Amino acid sequence: MPKKVGKYSIHRTLGEGTFGKVKKAYSEEDGEWVAIKVLDKEKIQRQNMGSQVKKEISIMKLVRHPHVVQLKEVLASRTKIFIVLELVTGGELFDKIVSEGRFKEKSARFYFQQLCVGTEYCHRQGVCHRDLKPENLLLDDQGNLKISDFGLSALYEQDAEADRQSLLHTTCGTPNYVAPEVLADQGYDGSLADTWSIGVILYVFLAGFLPFDEPTMAALFRKIQKADFTYPSWFTPEVKDLLSKILVVDHTKRYTIRQIMEHPWWRKDGPYADCSD
Ligand code: ADP
Ligand code: MG
């Protein structure tokens, strides 16, 4: 007999997360497979679910989009939190980049458009991700991108300082995708912090390596806080123009997700191409 959590019977492990395992599970009642992220309460150092967190979860349940992994419900026991998610079966985009080395412009644009469309939708619902990186981008059985863990960073910690700590913590000590203002511990706008991460992700898609990558944390922070990076020779002038408007330290001058989606490089082809010209 498989173990039960609420109406779900727990099956095999799908993956290992920062705070616990992700399990495949089945609801007899709904005739549906799901993924359940099991978080150890002690590991995330939270005593109980604050009302702020509860509020965020209820917002996240309203987020429904083809490019965002659907949050179904959150259950809790004395020691664990169970996050019930839509099951996505095509693996991590991260592994695809690793196996292909890097993406050609067409595939990069294909995934980038889906990433932007999903993110823009969530921002409109008032939900930010705050930990966007290729490891959190999953592929479905059709090969389309689904953003995983949207808004979940809010679940880990509540106040801004704790948020910052947990961001640094969940990225396992290498916050390569984190915006400068998040590192600098200033008040920050979650949606513009997401935009920065999206810029780093686009760079990684096309380069096959990180724009900011240093052996020590101090050196990495310095590079990020100066937006000190270079473009590989194969980057086109158009994509360099786009990246130069996203990876901007001053977040008030950084491109918003809407502006990114209006840039000529974004609109060229792919599933969300601009057909008007
Ligand atoms: P964490 O953010 O704590 O690192 P993840 O959400 O990335 O944990 O989950 C760890 C792994 O579990 C992922 O890399 C993926 O392989 C698997 N996984 C997570 N969510 C799902 C899902 N909705 N469907 C299928 N597999 C998933
Ligand atoms: Mg993750």
CB atoms within 10 A of CB 234: 11
Residue 191, token pair as written in the block: 């949606």
**144 Cβ below 6 A of ligand 1:** no
ipTM above 0.90, yes or no: yes
* Three-state SS sequence of 99-168: HHCCCCHHHHHHHHHHHHHHHHHHHHCCCCCCCCCHHHEEECCCCCEEECCCCCHHHHCCCHHHHHHHHH
pLDDT tens column, 66-95: 999 999 988 988 888 899 999 999 999 999
Supply the pLDDT for residue 160: 44
Closest CA to 249 of 190, 196, 176, 175: 196
**88 Cβ below 6 A of ligand 1:** yes
Q: Is 37 annotated as a binding residue?
A: yes
> Ligand 1, atom 11: nearest CA belongs to which residue?
15
For residues 112 and 44, the model is more confident at: 112
> Ligand 1, atom 12: nearest CA belongs to which residue?
15
**132 Cβ below 6 A of ligand 1:** no
* In the block, residue with structure tokens 């010209």: 277
pLDDT at 104 exceeding the cut of 90: yes
pTM of the model: 0.88
Known catalytic membership, residue 131: yes
E-only strand ranges, the chain: 4-5, 8-16, 21-27, 32-40, 71-76, 80-86, 137-139, 145-147
User: What percent helix, strand, coil does the chain show, rounded to 5?
Assistant: 40, 15, 45
- The one catalytic residue among 30, 40, 131, 213: 131
Residue pair 21/11 in contact by the 8 Å Cβ criterion: no
Give the Cα separation of 152 and 131 in Å (integer). Answer: 9
φ, ψ of residue 26 in degrees (nearest 5): -130, 135
Instruction: Show the CA angle centred on residue 135, arms to residues 129 and 139, nearest 5°.
Output: 95
- 174: burial class by Cβ within 10 Å (0-12, 13-18, 19+)? middle
pLDDT at 171 exceeding the cut of 60: no
In ligand 1, the atom with minimum distance to the C-alpha of 85 is: 23
CB atoms within 10 A of CB 100: 11
Instruction: Show the CA angle centred on residue 159, arms to residues 154 and 165, nearest 5°.
Output: 80
The confidence band for 157, taking pLDDT boundaries of 50, 70 and 90, is low
Residue pair 52/59 in contact by the 8 Å Cβ criterion: no
Share of the chain above pLDDT 90, in %: 63
Supply the pLDDT for residue 54: 67
